[in-house]
Amino acid sequence: MIDSRSDLLPGTLDLLVLRTLQSGPRHGWAISQRIEQLSDAVLVVTQGSLYPALYRLEEQGLIEAEWGSSENNRRAKYYRLTRAGRKRLANETENWERLSAAVARVLAAT
Amino acid sequence: MTIFHRLRFRWRALVGRRRLEEEMREELARHLEQAVARQIERGLAPQAARRAARLEFGSPDVVAEECRESWGVRLVDELRGDLRLGLRSLRRSPGYALAVVSTLGLGIGANTAVFSVVRGVLLRPLPYDGGERLVALRQSAPQLGATDLGFSVLELDDYRRQLERVEAVVEYHSMNFTLLGGDEPLRVQTGVVSANYFDMLGVEPLLGRTFLPDEDELGAEAVLVLSHRFWRAAYGGDPTVVGRHFQMNDRPHTVVGVLPPLPSYPDANDVYMPASACPFRSDPDSLARREARAVTAFAKLAPGATLAQATSEANGLLARLRAEFAAAYPQTETIGIELSPVGDEMTRGARRTFLLLLATVGLILLVACANVANLALARLSDRGHELALRTALGGGRRRLLRQLVTESTLLAFLGGVLGLLLAWAARGLLVSFAARFSVRAEEIAIDATVFAFTFVVAAVTGLVFGSLPGLPGTDAPARALMAEGARSTGTRHRRRLRQSLVVGQLALSFVLLVVASLALRSLWRLNGVDAGFESENVLTAQIHLNWSTYTLDAHRLDRERVAAFHDRLATELRAVPGVVEVGNAWTFPLNAGFANSGQFEIEGRTSEERAPMVATQIGASRAYFEAVGVPLLRGDGFRGDERGEEPRVTLVNREFARRYFPNEDPLGERISGNGGRSWRTIIGIVGDVRQSDLREEAEPTTYLPFTEFPGFSSSIFVRTLGEPLLLERELRRRVLVADAQAAISGVETLEQVRSAALAPTALVTRLLALFAGVALFISATGLGGVLAYSVAQRTREIGVRMALGADPRRVLGEIVGEGLRTTVVGLALGLVAALAVARLMTGLLYGVSPADLVCLVASAATLLATSFVACLLPGRRALAVEPMHALRV
């Protein structure tokens, strides 16, 4: 299990959050669950790192928030990608793929 | 777009802070709930599930704090904290806060006040359209001593038509006329202008209209425009005055408009009329003769034209005109036209004074700042524990410094608010003060620019005095917590800093002392000037006859009747008990507005030795000289019945005799002021009178018999036995009895005339002395404070020495010696600065050199004496130290 607080490369959490929002608006809990689920529980996003990240992204204008009601009819804050967020996601995804491919090549060589 | 978004987010974080905070709390709580729910799904009991979720996700408070940080408003949050803390700590020491706020309030207030004057008078654009392009034209012949020849109507026509670098040329002159049709005859100062005058200035009337183009034409109906001031004073601001008819110069004049408030420039005119309505200006002689120079010209530069271009174009045209009409120009090599920006004309003389005052109050603020920084340093020593504790708990040095600067800025802003209030309260005084120097005084206001100035001054002040205590070498708060002995390292640095602050204060105070003493000595010199007349017990006034009742035809004054009027009036006044003598003249002494000089020649001198000769010309009655107290030095005075018959006579003053008859006796010589058409015999020599300015030596002057050349607007002088002002009512009554249409103005004593001439200098001197006193007082308290502190530090040492039998006088001597050494260092530094600053005053001083030794010595003595007194207080406290008490401390 990799803790999002210490073990991730900087910026990775932002990328993951943006990616999970690509398929539509989600609230905070759903984002963390989605990341955990997609990574087969390898990546655990604690609220201690998730919410500062969400506020940071909102402050940067990459996502925007709106209150709505959740599946069990409770009030919940939904996050949605903005246009700037989409652009950033595309960029960062490309960067990440280049980076991981490069790392993989280095590792394979030795 | 992102920047905009960020700003919006931050704005929300700052303003909608509580909502954001609540939403975050709710969101985190919701998250935790779901985490608990999941643990329960996994089969944990509710209690255990909550615990597990908590463990997994950490403390909500820490998370909340991290979230807040990502809002990007931490700095503001901390600032809020600092402010709260600052307010609290200041509330705990109200004495300190009060001392700082009032010191800074006075310092900033003085700066705000003087700046508002500088802004209103020197910096604000002229209240005219394109005001920066307006210029005054002056035709002068320097060799003849004629600084302003004026222009004739024919000349102005040429300039108006032929100059291309100027957009418009207007003519102007000012006269006194009698306005009839109100309750009593009103003497109105009348600006006589060409019809395009107000159009060039871009002045929109408040009511009605200004002049129409064809109102310039001879024979046009006479119209008047009222100045705002006159409209308010004489008609109470009644709008129906527009359209009313008044009688003036035997013609009906219709009021067509009222002007908005404007500077009293070129003169404080009550009304304006078009040139055609002025009987003098429309006199055929004035219109036809090129040398009849009686009007002033103003112009507006064409857009893009420079002053230099327009000046050289005008002088080029002048050269062509001189070639064409040689006879119309004075016989001298150099005649030139000078163009001078109207803005400079209005503030002539004011600029130096105001800038000196601005510099002075700037120095005061520096002295005040140093004092406040000193107080802050002393307080820092008292707060050592608090700061050390905060350092120990992890407060960064920069963070602590920021706290100190926040506190000082807070105080400085409170001082700024106080300063603004003070300046606002003094605005009436400021206007009347500035009015003595410039016609633009009415424009002084505490406006947005002044606000901004105060804001900036306060901010800088706060930064300066807040960061001084935080300078390197004073960062010993942690050490303060340690043993007593360790404290001295930090305090020694701090003491040195405090001492340098005091040295700086003393140096600046010395500069201010020198400036004030120079001004004072110069005022004394000026006060002691013999202006050439005896000002005690003389009442003077201007009497203005209604032009049209004393004319031969439309344009010529009936001199016989004017002279008869004045003769009759003087005879009647002489019969009033308490009246010694009554005299008349064209003008009164020290009248800055009077200028009447002309060229003349001396009979029998060949043209080779005839350098251009110029003299001031004044018409004066036989009794004038005795009434005003001007001595007849040689020869005879006027008889009092001269009517222009031969032999014509004249009196000259001593300066005239000295300059033009250095080796001869002028008595019996003849001079001519009209190119030799007629000659006047010099029959007497009288004393020199400073005619226009106390500062200026008397010009060569010739006196003409008033009976031959009476003025329809002239001065009367009544020498009395007792208080002259008691005769004011009698004088007014007699004038009205003699002629019901005569107007009287400017009733005052010659003493008042003299003190009015001194008033601007006296006012500035008083201000400078006040400023120097304030600075000296502040510095003395600063010096006393530092010494008191050093005595307190040495309490134990002094106690021991006293116990061992030290001579108290020696201990006292040491303390006082320390203080005086500091003073001498300040004095030495101040001397250098003072010599530099005093040189800037050169133009403002009279009869005193900027490096005047007496002033320097007196200032140094004052500073040393004050310091000595300031040292005695802490010194005596040292002597009062009880040895046993000191040892137990």
Distance (Å, whole) CA B176 – CA B278? 11
- Torsion, Cα of B710, B712, B713, B714 (10° steps): 20
Q: How high is the pLDDT of residue B483?
A: 37
Instruction: Kindly state the average pLDDT of the residues B161-181.
Output: 90
Between B168 and B379, where is the model more confident?
Answer: B168
* Contact (CB<8Å) A51/B2: no
For chain A, say whether B24 makes contact (Cβ under 8 Å).
Answer: yes
Q: Residue B299: what pLDDT?
A: 94
Distance from CA of B76 to the nearest CA of A (A): 16
User: Does B31 contact A47 at a Cβ distance shorter than 8 Å?
Assistant: yes
Contact A55 B71 (CB under 8 A): yes
Predicted pLDDT of residue B159:
92
d(CA B616, CA B608): 23
- Residue among B2, B58, B70 minimizing CB distance to A56: B70
Decide if B2 and A61 are in contact by the 8 Å CB cutoff.
yes
Could you read off the pLDDT of B130-159 as tens digits, one per residue?
889 999 999 988 777 677 888 998 999 999
Average pLDDT, chain B: 86
Q: Would you call A51 and B24 a contact, using CB atoms and an 8 Å cutoff?
A: yes
Task: Provide the pLDDT confidence category of residue B610 given band limits of 50, 70 and 90.
Answer: low
Give, rounded to a whole angstrom, the gap between the first and last alpha carbons of chain A. Answer: 25
CB contact under 8 A, B31 and A29: yes
Place of tokens 């960067």: A95
Q: Give mean pLDDT, residues B271-278.
A: 91
Q: B69 touching A, CB under 8 A?
A: yes
pLDDT computed for residue B745 by the predictor: 86
Are A29 and B28 within 8 A, CB to CB?
A: no
Closest residue on chain B to A71 (Cα): B34
Rounded mean pLDDT of A32-46?
83
Select from A28, A32, A53 the Cβ nearest to the Cβ of B27: A28
Assess whether pLDDT exceeds 70 at residue B738.
yes
Higher pLDDT, B39 or B420: B420
Give the nearest chain B residue to A29 (CA atoms): B31
pLDDT confidence of residue B652: 96
Inspect the interface and report whether the beta carbons of B28 and A51 lie closer than 8 Å: yes
Buried b (16+ CB within 10 A) or exposed e, B114-131: bbbbbbbbbebebbbeeb
Do B30 and A29 make contact, defined as CB atoms within 8 angstroms? Answer: yes
Flag if A55 and B62 touch (Cβ within 8 Å). no
**Among all residues of chain A, which has the CA nearest to that of B60?**
A48
Question: Could B28 and A55 be called an inter-chain contact, meaning their C-beta atoms sit closer than 8 Å?
Answer: no
| Model confidence pTM above 0.90 | no
Please indicate if any CB of chain B lies within 8 Å of the CB of A41: no
Q: Is B67 on the interface with A (CB under 8 A)?
A: yes
A48 vs B contacts (CB less than 8 Å): 57-58, 62-63, 66
Residue carrying the six token digits 């327009």: B310
* Secondary element (H or E) of residue B651: strand B648-653
Using one digit for the tens of pLDDT, what is the confidence trace for A49-71?
888 888 888 888 888 888 887 77
CA–CA dist B160, B157 (Å, integer): 5
Q: For residue B385, give the nearest of B474, B481, B492, B476 by alpha carbon.
A: B481
pLDDT tens-digit readout, B87-131: 887 888 888 888 889 889 989 999 999 999 999 989 888 989 988
Per-residue pLDDT at B191: 93
A46 touches chain B (CB under 8 A): yes
Q: What are phi and psi of B863, to 5 degrees?
A: -65, -45
Nearest CA in chain A to B35: A29
Beta carbons of B621 and B686 less than 8 angstroms apart: no
Q: Tens digits of per-residue pLDDT, B772-798?
A: 998 999 899 888 888 887 787 777 788
ipTM of the complex, rounded to two decimals:
0.80
Answer whether A98 touches B (CB < 8 Å): no
Geometric angle at alpha carbon A37, from A36 and A42, rounded to 5°:
50
For residue A60, the chain B residues in CB contact (below 8 A) are: 2, 5-6
